[in-house]
Amino acid sequence: MEKIGFIGTGVMGRSMAGHLLKAGHPLTVYTRTRSKAEPLLAEGATWADSPADLAARSEVVITMVGYPDDVRQLYLGDDGLIAHAPRGATLIDMTTSDPLLAVEIHKAAKEKGLAVLDAPVSGGDVGAREARLTIMVGGDSDAFLAVLPVLEVMGKNIVLQGGPGSGQHTKMVNQIAIAAGMVGMCEAITYARRAGLDPEKVLECISGGAAGSWSLSNYGPRILKGDYAPGFYVKHFIKDMRIALESARAMQFDTPGLALAERLYSQLADEGGGDLGTQALYRVIDRQARNQGEG
Q: Which residues are catalytic?
A: 171
Q: Answer whether 148's CB lies under 8 Å from 116's CB.
A: no
Tell me which residue of 113, 171, 102 sits closest to 139, measured CA to CA: 102
Strand residue runs (E) in the chain:
4-7, 27-30, 46-47, 60-63, 90-93, 115-118, 121-122, 133-138, 155-162
242 exposed, middle or buried (CB, 10 Å; 0-12, 13-18, 19+)?
Answer: middle
Strand partners, 230: none
| CA dihedral over 174, 5, 54, 27, signed as positive or negative | positive
- Kindly list the distances between the CA atom of residue 184 and the CA atoms of 187, 191, 205, 272, in Å, as whole numbers in the listed order: 5, 10, 16, 22
* Rounded CA separation 34/14 (Å): 12
Q: Answer whether 63's CB lies under 8 Å from 43's CB.
A: no
CB-facing half-sphere around the CA of 62: CA atoms within 13 A: 32
Strand partners, 285: none
Strand residue runs (E) in 121-251:
121-122, 133-138, 155-162
- Kindly list the distances between the CA atom of residue 284 and the CA atoms of 168, 266, 272, in Å, as whole numbers in the listed order: 29, 10, 12
* Rounded CA separation 92/193 (Å): 44
* Rounded CA separation 10/62 (Å): 13
